[in-house]
C-alpha cells in the first residue's frame, strides 16, 4: 500500500509572540500619540453662536405681535382688544400670541417696557451725537426733538399706550415701567438745571420737567402732519415756550 498522504492540520499554527522590544516600542508610540492629543487645544468658535433661521423668525414674529398690539391698544383700548385681534393684525393664528407671551397683560407690559427702553437708548444716542461744546439750549432742543420723534414717529404707539393704559398694568408691572421712565426723564435734569443757572428757564427745574413732559405728551392728541407743521418747527415753538431767548 502506498504510504498515506499527510493531512493538513485543522489547527493553524499559533502566531509568534512579539518580542519584549517590539512591545515596548508600541507602548511608547501609543503614549506619544496620547500626549500629542492632550497638548493640542480644541478650537472653539469665537463669539456668540449665530441665531438659526427659526430663532430669527421667532424674533420677527414677536416684534410683529408687539407692533400690532401697540396699535390696537392705542386705537381700541386694552380691554376691547382680544388676542384674536392681535394675532390677526400680525397675520398669525389666534393662539400664536401665547407662544411668545403668557397673557395679554404680559404683552401690554412688553409693549411699554421695550418701547421705553428703546426710547432711552435712542435719546442717549441723540445727545452723544452733539458736539462736546453744545450749549444747554442746544441739548434741550435735541431732547425735545427726539421726544417728538418717539411720540409722533412711525413706531410711536407705545407712549400713548403707556399714558392711557397705565391702570391696566399690575402693581409690579407699574414699578418696572416707572423705573425705565424715571431713567429716561432723569437725563433732562442736568440740562434744565444748567438753563436755570443761566436764568433762561421759566420755572424751577423739577417743576419745569413736569410741565414740559405734560405739554409734549399731549401733542399725541392734536398733532397732525397733514396740517403742514413739521416736527422741527414744532420743536422750535416748544422750546420758545419753556426758556427765555
Residue recorded with cell 496620547: 34
Residue-level pLDDT at 159? 85
- How far is 187 from 191, CA to CA, in rounded Å? 8
Question: Model-level pTM greater than 0.75?
Answer: no
- Average pLDDT, integer, range 58-72: 84
Helix, strand, coil % over all residues of the chain, rounded to 5: 65, 0, 30
Is the per-residue pLDDT at 139 higher than 80? yes
Backbone dihedral angles phi then psi of residue 78, each to the nearest 5 degrees: -65, -45
CB neighbours of 55 closer than 8 A, spacing ≥ 6? none
Residue-level pLDDT at 19? 52
Predicted confidence (pLDDT) per residue in 77-135, tens digit: 999 999 889 889 888 887 777 778 888 999 999 999 989 999 999 999 999 999 999 99
Among residues of the chain, what percentage have pLDDT more than 90? 51
Q: Which of 11-15, 70-74, 132-136 has the lowest mean pLDDT?
A: 11-15
- Average pLDDT, integer, range 168-190: 95
- How far is 230 from 224, CA to CA, in rounded Å? 9
Residue-level pLDDT at 163? 87
pLDDT band at 49 (very low <50, low <70, confident <90, very high): low
pLDDT band at 38 (very low <50, low <70, confident <90, very high): very low
Predicted confidence (pLDDT) per residue in 213-241, tens digit: 999 999 988 888 787 789 999 999 999 99
Amino acid at each position: 500500500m502506498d504510504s498515506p498522504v499527510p493531512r493538513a492540520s485543522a489547527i493553524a499554527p499559533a502566531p509568534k509572540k512579539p518580542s519584549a522590544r517590539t512591545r515596548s516600542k508600541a507602548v511608547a508610540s501609543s503614549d506619544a500619540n496620547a500626549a500629542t492629543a492632550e497638548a493640542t487645544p480644541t478650537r472653539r468658535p469665537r463669539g456668540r453662536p449665530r441665531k438659526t433661521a427659526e430663532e430669527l423668525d421667532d424674533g420677527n414674529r414677536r416684534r410683529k405681535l408687539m407692533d400690532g398690539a401697540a396699535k390696537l391698544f392705542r386705537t381700541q383700548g386694552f380691554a376691547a382688544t382680544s388676542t384674536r385681534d392681535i394675532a390677526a393684525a400680525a397675520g398669525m393664528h389666534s393662539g400664536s400670541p401665547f407662544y411668545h407671551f403668557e397673557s395679554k397683560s404680559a404683552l401690554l407690559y412688553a409693549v411699554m417696557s421695550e418701547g421705553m427702553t428703546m426710547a432711552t437708548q435712542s435719546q442717549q444716542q441723540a445727545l452723544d451725537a452733539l458736539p462736546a461744546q453744545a450749549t444747554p439750549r442746544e441739548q434741550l432742543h435735541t431732547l425735545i426733538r427726539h421726544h417728538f420723534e418717539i411720540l409722533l414717529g412711525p413706531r410711536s404707539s407705545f407712549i400713548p399706550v403707556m399714558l392711557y393704559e397705565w391702570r391696566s398694568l399690575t402693581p409690579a408691572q407699574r414699578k418696572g415701567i416707572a423705573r425705565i421712565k424715571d431713567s429716561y426723564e432723569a437725563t433732562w435734569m442736568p440740562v434744565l438745571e444748567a438753563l436755570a443757572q443761566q436764568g433762561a428757564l421759566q420755572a424751577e427745574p423739577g417743576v419745569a420737567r413736569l410741565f414740559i413732559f405734560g405739554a409734549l405728551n399731549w401733542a399725541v392728541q392734536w398733532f397732525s402732519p397733514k396740517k403742514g407743521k413739521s416736527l422741527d418747527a414744532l420743536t422750535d415753538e416748544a422750546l420758545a415756550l419753556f426758556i427765555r431767548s
